[in-house]
Amino acid sequence: MEFYAVAVFFFIWLIFLTWIVIKTQRHYQSLISNTNKKRIEEILEDLLEKDKRFSAQIDRLSKLLTEMIQHSRMSFRKIGLVSYNPFERIGGEQSFVLAILNEYNSGFVINFIYTREGLRSYIKKVKEGKGDKYELSEEEIEAIKKST
């Protein structure tokens, strides 16, 4: 009786091992069938070569992206607008200041002053939030603050 129990155990064990081998062989064949290679070493070498090429491309794209980000910081992306009345008793708030700045708060402000004679405009260069050559008025400073 013990002999039959041991024989049944080994028979079941043999079926289980056969199932594992067949499953592994099918998996290997499915891996091989998707490539033109005959051996697993050729497939692995091909994958390593592709990995090197992709790594080089990723490095180039990363450098390019970093350069583009640095370049985009210099473009104008902040806008602030303040309307005001330059003459306290006459007219309404028809004059305004427009601040156009980059990420480093550098750019320019345009001051449009409306008078009875017409519209006058002045432009001042701004560097790091402050007037480059000329002092900024309260309205211009406020427009810079609104742009951030």
Strands (E), 1-148: 78-84, 95-101, 107-115, 118-127, 130-131
Give per-10-residue mean pLDDT for the chain (148 aa).
Answer: 86 94 88 74 85 95 93 86 80 84 90 86 90 87 86
How far apart are the C-alpha atoms of 62 and 104, rounded to whole Å?
23
pLDDT of residue 89: 65
Q: What separation in angstroms does the CA of 5 have from each of 8, 9, 10, 12?
A: 5, 6, 9, 11
